[in-house]
A and B are shown apart, each in its own frame.
Chain A
Amino acid sequence: MSPLKIKKGSSSHSAYDLRDPNVERLERHTLAVLVDNEAGVLARVIGLFSGRGYNIESLTVAEVDHAGHRSRITVVTTGTPAVIEQIKAQLARVVPVHEVHDLTVEGPSVERELALLKVCGTGEKRVEALRLADIFRANAVDSTLESFVFEITGTPEKIDAFADLMRPLGLQEIARTGVAALARGC
């Protein structure tokens, strides 16, 4: 693996950026979409975003209720307020979609993302990587004499910051899960 050239802030750009980036007032919203866990449901949701030119900044999906056959998709998207409203309305009319929640406007919520970072190096750099990991509460989940794999959980911004610090210390690879989010309180 060749070292990644991750620019600061680059992770806030969509991997599926289909819209003119210069449009007015882009907002970032985190949507929770509760769907029937059936074949093709993720393709329906992703197809909706690509087909209608909406952005996906991050997307996570997993079954959350085995007995009830329910999965939760968390999508972070950007758009003008009107586009965000359209995205929610379009999601809601997909047949296997049960609920769409806009966690960004429905009150306070918590967002977490998990990342694994491989950092290679020896000597002083290796010690510094370990020290910074400690400050960021990242765990070393694997180690060889020349490398660590750190696990870090936090907001996307925290992970960005940690990755930026690891870069000069030998960051080789990074794997991120995308955002999982829940509303606060009952």
Chain B
Amino acid sequence: MTRQMSGAKMVVQALRDQGVDTVFGYPGGAVLPIYDEIFLQNDIRHILVRHEQGAVHAAEGYARSTGKVGVVLVTSGPGATNAVTGLTDALMDSIPLVVLTGQVPTFMIGTDGFQEADTVGITRPCTKHNWLVKDTDALSEVIHQAFHIATAGRPGPVLIDIPKDVQFAAGAYTPPKQARLGHYQPRVKGDIEQITRLVEMIETAERPVFYTGGGVINSGPAASQLLREIVDATGFPITSTLMGLGAYPASGKSWLGMLGMHGLYEANLAMHGCDLMINIGARFDDRITGRIADFSPGSKKAHIDIDPSSINKVIHVDVPIIGDVAHVLEDVLKIWKARGRKVNRDGLEAWWAQIGQWRAKNCLAYKPSDKTIKPQYALERLEALTRGMDRYITTEVGQHQMWAAQFLGFEDPNRWMTSGGLGTMGYGLPASIGVQIAHPEALVINVAGEASWLMNMQEMGTAVQFRAPVKQFILNNERLGMVRQWQELLHGERYSHSWSESLPDFVKLAEAFGCKGICVKDPADLDDAILEMLAYDGPVIFDCLVEKHENCFPMIPSGKPHNEMLLGEAETQGAIDAKGSVLV
């Protein structure tokens, strides 16, 4: 029944049996036997990155845009340590990854051997689980378990450390069906009693709001579908975190826009003033809540989450529902319909009228210019010129990321890949490559800041080598814009090290990488330049020179409640005190 094979062959066989078609990786001494096996087959495509961090972010982009597991293969020591930022990023944003690392042979472990690192020790706090496999007979079963744990319950990255002698030795291969997956089986069905309590609240709430997050996307397309159904059937307003954009369409009539530190005025005030908050797959992150003591003081709160540790972690909730979003929403809808589809019409009408007043503030308004390109304008034009296209967006981290979330509209889940929890500069370029590898025909754009983009710019080599026609849309303000904004508002305009001199000439850089470079600085030329980028069949570095000192509003300063939001330059004077500047 069981087949004998080398550990290295087992790795490839197990990946194949798990349905893996793509691996992002970088070779080295401790994984050469596995690379040998990759060489000898054609089922699994290997994408050679330029840095192991890039491999992990690319796998994240692949995973987030497909709903499948992203797979990474790197060598021991520096290969593994370079992967740590990506692992932490994936853990914070609940992205399922299986990362395979080589390790020195078992008999050398602990001797400070060449390229030895305590990989399971280093990655224990930044993986959902990890293994050091010391026995070839156990290897294939561990790989199958790894895929199970990466995807079951709240998804996350897992890592398998495989010593070189384990790769060489022969052992028995266990196919996925025979693998023991262990006791790790998080519950997916929510408690019916709690769900019924939520339905009762839905029936009477005067000022309800849906507050949704990345958990809806992770739960799969059915969850987004059910979310749309319940939002449209109840007529309740809905807002989302950065991670949840696209679960409910931006064009939907109940859409309030993103909430949080740089979220929309109407979204944040609806959160502050609601009497029923229905949290679906979000986690009350500090970017969302602002000052905890003043967070939505008058509301009853329900929280649907597959991870019990997310419930009551920072905000006490009245109705905790542990389960998978799709399963729970199905039951909520079923019970709500069976009880007669009741909502508080009068209450809702007044609530929407109030929201309308907030909307009228037009909080995303900015001062237009015909001399310099405003970053907001660049994104408005990008949105207009790509609307209706089969489009995926990734971002780096900074002001541009927040503007992208504010000004681009997402109609579907899995179309928006951004580093939310960790805020990792350097995420967007490799992530865009991972997305493009998964969707070769789609339009994949990385909305970038020039500083973030430089952090992993070596990955342009990967894009060119693998003909991934990713568009790098760099909003170049020659500043670490978000840092500069904080220094302006919180640190007395002392701009300590928040600008970059000696930026590369991005057009020449594109040429050096063998792709196309476009530079634009006149607003009048912007549309043509974007169209040129879209028309080009290959990777493009788009250097969009924007206003250097634009600030991103609205903004809730750290430690402030939702209703103390800054809307524009005029309101910033003295708004942030020393206490606020202590917070991140």
Please state if B125 and A86 are interface contacts (CB–CB under 8 Å). Answer: no
On whether the beta carbons of A47 and B312 are closer than 8 Å, the reply is no
Cβ-defined contact, A93 with B124, below 8 A:
no
Give residues of chain A (66-125) contacting chain B, Cβ–Cβ below 8 Å. 82, 85-86, 89-90, 92-93, 95-96, 98
Interface of chain B: mostly helix, strand, loop or mixed: loop
Chain B residue contacts of A93, Cβ below 8 A: 153-154, 307-309
A45 to B496, CA, bound (A): 40
B125 to A47, Cβ gap below 8 A?
yes
How many chain A residues touch the partner (CB < 8 A)?
16
Q: Is B129 an interface residue (CB 8 A)?
A: yes
B339 lies within 8 A of chain A by Cβ: no
Cβ contacts under 8 Å, B183 to chain A: 98
Minimum Cβ distance to chain A for residue B110 (Å) = 13
Q: A51-B125, A98-B183 in contact; A39/B132 too (CB < 8 A)? A: yes
A92 touching B125, Cβ below 8 Å:
no
Residue of A nearest to B120 (CB): A40
Q: How far is the CB of A90 from chain B (nearest CB, A)?
A: 5
B283 at the interface (CB under 8 A from A): no
Hey, what's the 0/1 contact readout for A116-159 against B, CB within 8 Å counting as 1?
00000000000000000000000000000000000000000000
In the complex formed, the residue of B with least CB distance to A44 is B124
- Give the residue among A40, A43, A92, A93 with the most B Cβ atoms within 10 A: A93
The answer to whether A92 and B309 touch across the interface, beta carbons within 8 angstroms, is yes
With the chains together, A96 CA to B183 CA distance in Å? Answer: 8
Contact code string B170-197 (vs A, CB < 8 Å = 1, else 0): 0000000000001110000000000000
The answer to whether B128 touches A85 (Cβ under 8 A) is no
Q: A90 to B311, alpha carbons, bound, how many Å?
A: 11
Q: How far is the CA of A93 from the CA of B307 in the complex (A)?
A: 8
- Could you give, for residues 42-74 of chain A, a 1 whenever the CB lies within 8 Å of some chain B CB and a 0 otherwise? 011001000100000000000000000000000
Counting CB contacts under 8 A, is B149 at the interface?
A: yes
Question: Do B312 and A82 touch (CB < 8 A)?
Answer: yes
Q: Tell me the smallest distance from the CB of B303 to a CB of chain A, in Å.
A: 13
Contact B308 A89 (CB under 8 A): yes
| CB closest chain-A residue, reference B183 | A98
The interface bits of chain A over 154-169 (1 if a CB of B lies within 8 angstroms of the residue's CB, else 0) are 0000000000000000
Give A39's nearest chain B residue, CB to CB: B132
Assembled-state Cα–Cα distance A93/B308 (Å): 8
Once the chains bind, are B184 and A95 in contact (CB under 8 Å)?
A: yes
A51 surroundings in chain B (CB, below 8 A):
125
The interface size of chain B toward A, counting residues with CB under 8 Å, comes to 20
Report the Cα distance A43→B184, complex, angstroms: 19
One of A82, A92, A95 near B149 (C-beta < 8 A): A95
Q: Of A43, A85, A92, A98, which is within 8 A of B121 by CB?
A: A43
Query: Are A47 and B309 touching (Cβ within 8 A)?
Result: no
Contacts of B128 in A (CB 8 A): 95
Chain B, Cβ-Cβ closest to A91: B309
Q: In this assembly, does B313 line the interface, its C-beta being within 8 Å of a C-beta of chain A?
A: yes
| Contact A95 B129, CB 8 Å, known A85-B312, A89-B308 | yes
B183 CB, min distance to chain A CBs, angstroms: 6
**Shortest beta-carbon distance, B279 to chain A, in Å?**
16
Q: A98 to B182: give the CA distance in the assembly, Å.
A: 10
Nearest-neighbor residue (CB-CB) of A40 within chain B: B120
Give 1 or 0 for each of B304-317: 1 = CB within 8 Å of chain A CB: 00011101110010
The digit string for A161-181, where 1 denotes a CB below 8 A from any CB of B, is: 000000000000000000000
B313 x A86 contact (CB < 8 A): yes
Residues of B within 8 A of A40 (CB): 120, 124, 132
| Docked complex Cα distance between A174 and B475 (Å) | 65
The 8 A CB mask of B227-271 against A (1 = contact, 0 = none) is 000000000000000000000000000000000000000000000
How far does the alpha carbon of A92 sit from the alpha carbon of B132 in the complex, in Å?
A: 22
Closest chain A residue, CB of each to CB of B124: A47
Closest to B132 in A: A39
Q: A95-B129, A95-B184, A98-B183 are in contact. Are A43 and B124 (CB under 8 A)?
A: yes
Assess whether B309 is in contact with A86, with CB atoms less than 8 Å apart: yes
Nearest CB of A to B311, in Å: 8
Report B215 CB to chain A, min CB distance, Å.
Answer: 15
Tell me the smallest distance from the CB of A161 to a CB of chain B, in Å: 38
Most B CB within 10 A of own CB, among A39, A40, A93, A95: A95
A-B contact pairs, 9 of them (CB 8 A): A39-B132, A85-B312, A89-B308, A92-B309, A93-B153, A93-B308, A95-B128, A95-B149, A98-B183
Q: Which 8 A-B pairs have the closest CB atoms?
A: A89-B309, A95-B129, A89-B308, A90-B309, A51-B125, A95-B184, A93-B309, A47-B125
Given contacts A86-B312, A93-B309, 12 further A-B contacts (CB under 8 A): A40-B120, A43-B121, A44-B124, A47-B124, A82-B316, A85-B312, A90-B309, A93-B307, A93-B308, A95-B149, A95-B182, A95-B184
